[in-house]
């Protein structure tokens, strides 16, 4: 039997406990602008479908979405292009490799990224976002995310976007490989610009929890009554979050926590507990696989305290 969180204080206790672990991690530095983050910052928010929400920690702290954005662009292209089209270009299998690995692109025949949560797959998905220009395509992603959060003020961090664009040579390599193999066919610089902006979309943990809740409730925002994402597509997104959402730590995370979740190198984690609630976390100190150290600790504690594992009903 699950029990709900009832106060910010309850969450604050978990933050205090998990904060001890922030010193075990380090902030991402391969995107130079991310290095400015404070490794000690930690915030958590939980959002229920009836509109009740609780949060604790450094709640005004904002994070860029980074890899968390991959789930949202996937939802958008599935809505626009349909399942058959999207999955003819990107697979559905976990890799067990780091998110930016190029290795399996060459060994998988015909050449097709194994899933949309690794960079090669996410670039393929972003390539499918329609529009006449990078600006128009980015506006469409932003509009969708503003709907999901019900927050018209969501924008992006220009510093982080520029910093990633200037240093994204590995993502350029992946894109050129994909172009050579006819998985994508656009100008690589435009794709990298769009992808860097998408990754730099910025929000706080409460916004993130609200998106998690929409996914948790099969794509519906129960407060407004709007079906923002079709149920089948929300299900596909959550399934990818279980199998590939925490990079090559997804298996261990499924056993220890059991919540569909997606992390990003900024230190964000979005959780979508099926039928129950959404969770947003920001903790910039990362473990060696690129997941928020304290974020994982908090999720382990929340899963136990509120019986959130989907494998433990």
Ligand X SMILES: NC(=O)CC[C@H](N)C(=O)O
Min CB(227)–ligand X separation in Å: 28
Min CB(2)–ligand X separation in Å: 30
Between 102 and 223, CB nearer to ligand X: 102
**Spatial distance between the Cα atoms of 125 and 115, rounded to a whole number of angstroms:** 10
Spot the catalytic one: 27, 90, 265, 273.
265
Min CB(18)–ligand X separation in Å: 20
Helix (H, G, I), strand (E, B) or coil at 100: coil
Between 154 and 228, CB nearer to ligand X: 154
Torsion sign, CA atoms 181, 187, 188, 192: negative
Residue 247 annotated among the catalytic residues of the structure:
yes
Between 164 and 202, CB nearer to ligand X: 164
Closest CA to 218 of 231, 228, 209: 231
The alpha carbon of residue 145 and the mean position of all alpha carbons in its chain are separated, in whole angstroms, by 12
Spot the catalytic one: 67, 69, 250, 263.
67
Residue 90 annotated among the catalytic residues of the structure:
no
Please, are residues 116 and 122 in contact by the beta-carbon 8 Å criterion? yes
Give the binding site for ligand X (CB under 6 A): 66-67, 99-100, 119, 164, 171, 199, 264-265, 290
Between 100 and 149, CB nearer to ligand X: 100
Tokens linked to 155: 């924008």
Between 161 and 277, CB nearer to ligand X: 161
Give 250: exposed, middle or buried? Use CB within 10 Å, 0-12, 13-18, 19+. Answer: buried
Spot the catalytic one: 21, 47, 165, 247.
247
Residue 179 annotated among the catalytic residues of the structure:
no
Dihedral-angle region of residue 98 (phi above 0 means left; psi in -120 to 50 means alpha; beta otherwise): beta
Spot the catalytic one: 70, 104, 197, 276.
70
Min CB(99)–ligand X separation in Å: 4
Residue 306 annotated among the catalytic residues of the structure:
no
Which run of H or of E encompasses 203? strand 201-204
Quickly count: other Cβ atoms within 10 Å of residue 49's Cβ: 17
Helix (H, G, I), strand (E, B) or coil at 283: coil
Residue 195 annotated among the catalytic residues of the structure:
yes
Min CB(200)–ligand X separation in Å: 8
State the Cα angle at 39 between 250 and 154, rounded to 5°.
75
Residues that are catalytic = 67, 70, 195, 247, 265
């Amino acid at each position: 039997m699950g029990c709900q969180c009832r106060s910010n204080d309850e969450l604050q206790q978990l933050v205090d406990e998990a904060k001890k672990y922030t010193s075990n991690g380090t902030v991402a530095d391969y995107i130079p602008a991310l290095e400015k983050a404070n490794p000690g910052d930690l915030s958590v928010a939980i959002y229920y479908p009836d509109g009740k929400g609780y949060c604790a920690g450094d709640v005004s702290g904002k994070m860029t979405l980074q890899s968390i954005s991959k789930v949202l662009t996937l939802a958008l292209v599935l809505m626009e292009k349909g399942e058959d089209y999207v999955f003819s270009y990107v697979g559905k299998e976990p890799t067990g490799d780091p998110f930016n690995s190029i290795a399996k692109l060459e060994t998988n025949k015909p050449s097709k990224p194994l899933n949309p949560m690794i960079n090669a797959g996410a670039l393929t998905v972003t390539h499918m976002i329609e529009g006449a220009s990078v600006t128009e395509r980015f506006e469409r992603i932003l509009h969708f995310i503003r709907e999901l959060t019900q927050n018209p003020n969501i924008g992006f961090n220009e510093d982080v976007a520029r910093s990633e664009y200037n240093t994204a040579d590995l993502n350029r390599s992946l894109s050129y490989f994909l172009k050579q193999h006819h998985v994508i066919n656009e100008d690589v610089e435009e794709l990298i610009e769009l992808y860097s902006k998408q990754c730099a979309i910025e929000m706080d943990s409460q916004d993130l929890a609200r998106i998690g809740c929409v996914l948790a409730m099969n794509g519906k925002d129960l407060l407004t009554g709007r079906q923002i994402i079709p149920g089948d597509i929300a299900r596909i997104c959550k399934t990818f979050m279980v199998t590939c959402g925490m990079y090559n730590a997804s298996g261990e995370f499924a056993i220890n926590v059991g919540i569909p979740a997606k992390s990003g190198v900024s230190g964000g984690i979005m959780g979508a507990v099926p039928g129950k609630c959404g969770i947003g976390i920001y903790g910039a100190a990362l473990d060696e696989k690129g997941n928020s150290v304290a974020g994982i600790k908090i999720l382990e504690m929340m899963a136990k305290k509120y019986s959130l594992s989907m494998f433990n009903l």
